[in-house]
Structure 1
């Protein structure tokens, strides 16, 4: 850990003359001024990249936060060498667009002795970001200031170089404490505001009060807290880190991630805050490794669609030298792949942030909004079923409840977040002995004889419980029509299979198996497995020639290319939640079924009920 100056002087490659020779021999990236000697450099970013402004994609749900820990051995009295830091900063500039890098956080101990000359050198290196308007934060570590002091220490070379004046006017700069040692920064990513709260090596009472006030003034903003000391080892906080947790982090649910350096090796901890949510606390520091860590950077790749942060650790300085050949130590350090340096953190962001910034619930939409042109049937379950379920299309395709073994249909307010109706039916089907309840269209319903020769769209919302078991629950139908292939004179394959069924396979996953008008055999669309305890939307779209299945609005892989025209009918009812085999009910759904709509034409994804 960086608590003793003597401890941190042991890196042999830091010796001035020896290092200068080493750098010349290996054609180091960038220019390093060491004792007045200019070393060979390489080109910076392309001219266009060098002059263009910093333009992260603020709407993309994938973005990257870059982190640079302790760089002190590179700025140590006569051993000042900014080249590795410059290489890392150039890397961010050159890869900013590809990785959608939105911000950089330095974790303190920028220098070894906190001297004016050391800060002048690293301050100049960071001008690479200043010239491009890149958002970044720094903070003081115990080697940047007198370690016995807190944020009320007064003037220092650190403050002269990286004080609030440096950041004034920068779009991401939110403000600083009156002493200048604590700052907060706001950036936009994934369509929302995020904060980096950069705190001094040691907070005073005034520092804590300032931080709490900043959080109170941004009550809906997720916060990444950076400081020099917090985590000391895997699943362990330092005594000061525990103080930060107790006095600030624990009671502020906005703080979901903390980043610190100071100690080594890298490690992680997770703590549960007062709101009952996990806070991920990460230690990253490489100053004990080759070339004082070589200004390694850690990249936090946020993906809000996958609900994950993928983390990687690389040395741009060594990467830039690879073409010229690397020595033994460089080959080991070019990219770190251990569990503490390359990992993923799963976070359901919407759920994690719901306590302070809940996602607004989409209101129910009236049935009239869902009755688009060509709607053949539309059923929704806004209240418990008693007797007949009306077809809201007005076409007369009403549903009646059929009970097996005396079971009934339950009701729940649970529903897919994008479902028009805010309710669902609970089916309790079981294979053996067969029991449950399902719905069927009434005799004489127009839907029973419809063949959809010009195309169709069948949509449904469903959810299966955690204890859904393939041996008892697989192959129940969500939506389907009765009548067998044999009854229709189509005996290729199994003649006892129904003429059309949207069923849940043993995955469970949706399967559309039908006998089109132009085929003797069964045409099948297979969906991928869909997770339990989650609402899904499935749509089957036929354009009069081909059939495509969509799950959550995305086409599945196993959509057949053969021509499939319409649906064969023998004039028998359709079922919701039931599946017939050989003309008899064979399986009943176990799970929840939301709105179901059948339209007598092919719909684009933008016309699905989820839109």
Structure 2
């Protein structure tokens, strides 16, 4: 890849932070024309956020042999990191080579860029910042004078420090919850450990990232091992505190990682990051820990903002190799089921069912749910009636296909976590031969004659079993109208198709196919292939002109732009089927899977009004 194309790729991938400067010479920077001033504006509610990790910068602040430009570039990147939603920066110690006043003052000046924007960050002392033979009771040092608690008095995240000032903690908000960063000294004393345990005890439900200068070292393959001092940290603090799920340290190189299990039996991820042995003292290279609570992962990347800033014609081959590091110790993904991992100390309350009255929004014409309290697997009898909870009389009764028995349709305790009712129906249908059972609106149901000429919203919760794709379930219907297009006066496409049907394709994707009032042909919305054995919410929203399909509240791609108003009503009655599909007025197979709450509203709903929570 050419250098120019690589820079284009990195910018598109979000690796060039907002406000990054271009350079024409080493260390000389200028803001791009039209660039916005850097500002610290993380989104505390976004389920995707980034914690930046900066290891040993000591060679950049080494008496008269240093250069602050790489660090300054990394701090600009952090301040301009809105694309990555950067919420916090952790420095892992060894800020300087000797801990001398001049070195400490110089790096302290650089960090004022973060102070001015009230950006959230933590620092800690490494063995090169203080006398390495001392612990946190060492007293006053140039490091403490510059980076002690007084520096963070205006910090939005600083919550306190040990009495000696060398250990501190911060609490930041991300993904709508609090996270605690515990920054421990190079060598905590007994008092330091006691202080840390007290902090954790006062925040018993907060997940914790522990940062310290030394905890583990790694071999050339990147396999980490706890050091002698790290074992003390593990024994006296980490092992007994389940809140600590991630530890970060520098000091040693090469980088590496391992996973340990604490006393509660849960994983603790132990990571080493240190690049001081690389070109330009590591060029203030940073690790981007991209938390994604929607995907239950932390994506980790390692980049040099200083080299990203430099003009392409100023980069030599060595520079290009250092822009971004790859390989399993520098570019990787950590899978974490955050809810499960944190359940021991911060259990999320189980979702509670919502009463039916809360779902009867204006315009609701039918609402069915299945929380009768019957035991799992109890058949729905032919004599049972599923009431329409709107009171409009759109009740449902069972129909069993020939050759099927009562087990083809049973009550189930399974449900979507965002579903109002905590129950569903389990359908066991198939084709070749056609088997199954389904529900049908009673003959007197007002819904049978509805045409929805002013718009509609149809919602359902659906789960497909793991064996759905065995060739016996393609095009089984979730919610269909009994009666063909021909019965509604339509002659386009295949008029034997039902007037309306929400079905599941052979690829396990939703399809809404309907003969609208204003068309002679079928209007079709297509979903995407769904992972099996997982609950989904589907919504079909028609505003009187167009229909949009939503899956889990997100619009799908293949929504037609051709106007489609209402739903044609067959002259033969137009009864609605739950768990079946009919062709030429004949049902030849039942649904295969689970169906939860179903609601029909005679107006378009906003996403915020969906049943999904």
How far residue 78 of structure 1 moved from its aligned partner, in angstroms, is 4.1
Match of 1:20 in 2: none
Separation in 2 of the partners of 1:142 and 1:489?
Answer: 84
Unmatched segments (≥5 aa) in structure 1: 1-24, 30-40
Secondary structure, in 3 states, of the residue corresponding to 1:271? strand
Match of 1:75 in 2: 61
How far residue 44 of structure 1 moved from its aligned partner, in angstroms, is 7.5
Q: 1:608 to 1:54 in 2, by over 3 A?
A: closer
1:374-413 matched pairs, under 5 angstroms:
374-383=363-372, 384=374, 385=380, 387-404=384-401, 405-408=404-407, 409-413=409-413
Separation in 1 of the partners of 2:39 and 2:540?
Answer: 46
Of 236, 258, 269 in structure 1, the residue corresponding to residue 224 of structure 2 is 236
- Asked if residue 290 in structure 1 is aligned to residue 288 in structure 2, the reply is no
1:60-139 matched pairs, under 5 angstroms:
60-93=46-79, 95-139=80-124
Separation in 2 of the partners of 1:551 and 1:414?
Answer: 19
Unmatched segments (≥5 aa) in structure 2: 1-22, 375-379
Of 177, 181, 191 in structure 1, the residue corresponding to residue 166 of structure 2 is 181
Q: 1:547 to 1:121 in 2, by over 3 A?
A: closer
How far residue 244 of structure 1 moved from its aligned partner, in angstroms, is 3.1
Of 580, 583, 589 in structure 2, the residue corresponding to residue 581 of structure 1 is 583
- Asked if residue 373 in structure 1 is aligned to residue 391 in structure 2, the reply is no
- Asked if residue 171 in structure 1 is aligned to residue 156 in structure 2, the reply is yes
- Asked if residue 279 in structure 1 is aligned to residue 268 in structure 2, the reply is yes
Q: 1:246 to 1:485 in 2, by over 3 A?
A: farther
Contact 2:479 2:501 in 1 (8 A): yes
CA offsets, 1:442-475, max 9 Å, x none?
2332222333333322111112233432523332
Separation in 1 of the partners of 2:209 and 2:485?
Answer: 61
Contact 2:127 2:186 in 1 (8 A): yes
How far residue 489 of structure 1 moved from its aligned partner, in angstroms, is 5.3
Contact 1:470 1:506 in 2 (8 A): no
Match of 1:37 in 2: none
Q: 1:439 to 1:164 in 2, by over 3 A?
A: same
- Asked if residue 442 in structure 1 is aligned to residue 442 in structure 2, the reply is yes
Q: TM (normalized to structure 1)? A: 0.86
Match of 2:522 in 1: 522
Match of 2:554 in 1: 554
Secondary structure, in 3 states, of the residue corresponding to 1:415? coil
Match of 1:150 in 2: 135
Q: 1:178 to 1:559 in 2, by over 3 A?
A: same
Secondary structure, in 3 states, of the residue corresponding to 1:365? coil
- Asked if residue 317 in structure 1 is aligned to residue 306 in structure 2, the reply is yes
Separation in 1 of the partners of 2:470 and 2:448?
Answer: 30
- Asked if residue 462 in structure 1 is aligned to residue 462 in structure 2, the reply is yes
Worse overlay, 513-522 or 501-510:
513-522
Contact 1:235 1:270 in 2 (8 A): no
Q: 1:450 to 1:212 in 2, by over 3 A?
A: same
Contact 1:407 1:435 in 2 (8 A): no
Match of 2:604 in 1: 602
Match of 2:417 in 1: 417
Secondary structure, in 3 states, of the residue corresponding to 2:392? coil
Contact 2:469 2:507 in 1 (8 A): no
Match of 1:430 in 2: 430
CA offsets, 1:409-440, max 9 Å, x none?
33333322332222212222233444333212
Match of 2:499 in 1: 499
1:561-576 matched pairs, under 5 angstroms:
561-565=561-565, 566-569=567-570, 570-576=572-578
How far residue 491 of structure 1 moved from its aligned partner, in angstroms, is 4.8
CA RMSD of aligned residues (A): 2.9
Separation in 2 of the partners of 1:159 and 1:46?
Answer: 39
Of 343, 346, 349 in structure 1, the residue corresponding to residue 338 of structure 2 is 349
Separation in 2 of the partners of 1:194 and 1:124?
Answer: 28
Worse overlay, 454-463 or 161-170:
161-170
Q: TM (normalized to structure 2)? A: 0.85
Q: 1:178 to 1:290 in 2, by over 3 A?
A: same
Match of 2:252 in 1: 263
Worse overlay, 159-168 or 179-188:
159-168
Separation in 2 of the partners of 1:49 and 1:364?
Answer: 47
Separation in 1 of the partners of 2:50 and 2:582?
Answer: 51
Separation in 2 of the partners of 1:472 and 1:420?
Answer: 31
Secondary structure, in 3 states, of the residue corresponding to 1:125? helix
Contact 1:453 1:567 in 2 (8 A): no
Separation in 1 of the partners of 2:483 and 2:607?
Answer: 30
Contact 1:45 1:90 in 2 (8 A): no
**Would you say how many aligned residue pairs link Structure 1 and Structure 2?**
574
How far residue 259 of structure 1 moved from its aligned partner, in angstroms, is 1.6
Contact 2:24 2:311 in 1 (8 A): no
Separation in 1 of the partners of 2:239 and 2:406?
Answer: 48
CA offsets, 1:537-575, max 9 Å, x none?
111122333222122222211111223232232214321
CA offsets, 1:212-264, max 9 Å, x none?
22111112222211112234233432234344334433333322222211222
Secondary structure, in 3 states, of the residue corresponding to 1:562? coil
Secondary structure, in 3 states, of the residue corresponding to 1:121? helix
Separation in 2 of the partners of 1:84 and 1:604?
Answer: 48
Worse overlay, 346-355 or 553-562:
346-355
Separation in 2 of the partners of 1:236 and 1:133?
Answer: 35
Separation in 2 of the partners of 1:608 and 1:395?
Answer: 20
Q: 1:582 to 1:276 in 2, by over 3 A?
A: farther
Q: 1:236 to 1:298 in 2, by over 3 A?
A: closer
Separation in 2 of the partners of 1:48 and 1:323?
Answer: 19
Match of 1:22 in 2: none
Q: 1:478 to 1:246 in 2, by over 3 A?
A: farther
Contact 1:80 1:121 in 2 (8 A): no
CA offsets, 1:139-179, max 9 Å, x none?
12232334444334444333333222322343221111223
Contact 1:511 1:524 in 2 (8 A): yes
Q: 1:172 to 1:581 in 2, by over 3 A?
A: same
Q: 1:533 to 1:256 in 2, by over 3 A?
A: farther
